[in-house]
Amino acid sequence: MISVNENAPVMVSGANGFVASWLVKKLLKQGFTVHATVRDKTDDKKTEHLRKLGAEHPGQLIMFNADLFKNSSFDEAMQGCEIVFHTASPFIMRGLNNPEKELIQPALQGTRNVLNSANQTDTVKRVVLTSSTVAIYGDAVEVRKQANGKFTEDTWNTTSSIHHQPYCYSKAIAEKEAWKIANDQNRWDMVTINPGFVLGPSIAKSSVSESVNTMLELMRGDLKTGVPALYFPIVDVRDVADAHINAATTPTANGRHIIVSETGSMLDMAKHIEKAFPGQFKLPKKQVPKFMIWLFGPLLKVTRKFVKLNVGYNPIFDNSRARNELGLRFRPIGDTIAEHAQQIVEDGLLN
């Protein structure tokens, strides 16, 4: 159990990311001083929204350059911090050319560098690590083997590899590495946040994320003829940010936490968009039979193994630990999807 000095600064790695930006915003609003690390703080396009947040809270936001691959890169930003939020990690599901270079090494090396800096910084008391539900499961079919038909924090993804579901593999091995480093010392403790598919409005105007890509594919009409029966454990980005803060400030918080509101299919997502914007988009109205997805998957750069193990299976998650121990109350996914769609329209991302 730790006691947090709310006058001490906190560090957020990858502070310009989708989740991290909301985390920074909420921390500033609560009065924290935030040491925000980014790859290049002079890159106005990627940091403008952080500068605006800083202007709204004078003196509370300090930006630092840090590189996941560079040893001791996070030392300066971590000075004086009692809480470290490590959110920085690549999120790439499609179009990978070199999974080892694009996913595995950044996830592992970044985790090692941040936690090694924590080992070198005497003030650090707690690390809150952003992991993922894909560190818990690899393929949706695995839900059939779970007690009570639900995934819990006790489960680990052991089925992904660099050749099958490499992103899931990167999150699983990075979290395992983090627990190894955390358990090899006793000065600071660690809490992990394991969110599902994160949707919701973004603080930064951006079209570069898997969540935005999926929403755009639905709203542009790319999938109007039908969608596969793929189900996602969905959660609002603002709930994920709250989970991080509650994990940092709840003295008894420990271990892993599934952060999922509910699961929803691609067709469910389309229905929520249609409800919010009736008749405005060419949305899919049916699911494509699995054998058709299996047949044509390779042409769409989707492996038949992925289709076999994921299409048609609904991965259900037990989020009771996050609700009971972190006090989270999850937003309905319909509200999240509607607000995400609204922002996409307002930002002109469909043009």
What digits encode the pLDDT tens for the residues 3-39?
Answer: 667 789 999 999 999 999 999 999 999 999 999 999 9
CATH number for 10-346 (one of 3.60.70.12, 3.30.56.10, 3.40.50.720, 3.40.220.10): it is 3.40.50.720
pLDDT confidence tier of residue 209, bands split at 50, 70 and 90: confident
Q: Which residues contact 114 (CB under 8 A, 6 or more apart)?
A: 13, 74, 84, 86, 88, 127
Residue 34 backbone phi and psi in degrees, to 5: -115, 125
What digits encode the pLDDT tens for the residues 289-339?
Answer: 999 999 988 887 889 999 999 999 999 999 999 999 999 999 999 999 999
CA distance 27 to 30: 5
Pair of tokens at residue 343: 């922002």
Largest CA distance in the chain: 58
pLDDT confidence tier of residue 107, bands split at 50, 70 and 90: confident
Alpha-helical runs (H) found in the chain: 18-29, 44-56, 75-78, 99, 105-120, 166-183, 210-219, 237-249, 266-276, 290-296, 304-310, 320-325, 333-346
Q: What is the domain partition of the chain in residue ranges?
A: 10-346
The total of other beta-carbon atoms located within 10 Å of residue 246's CB is 19
| Mean pLDDT, residues 162-184 taken together | 94
pLDDT at 297: 85
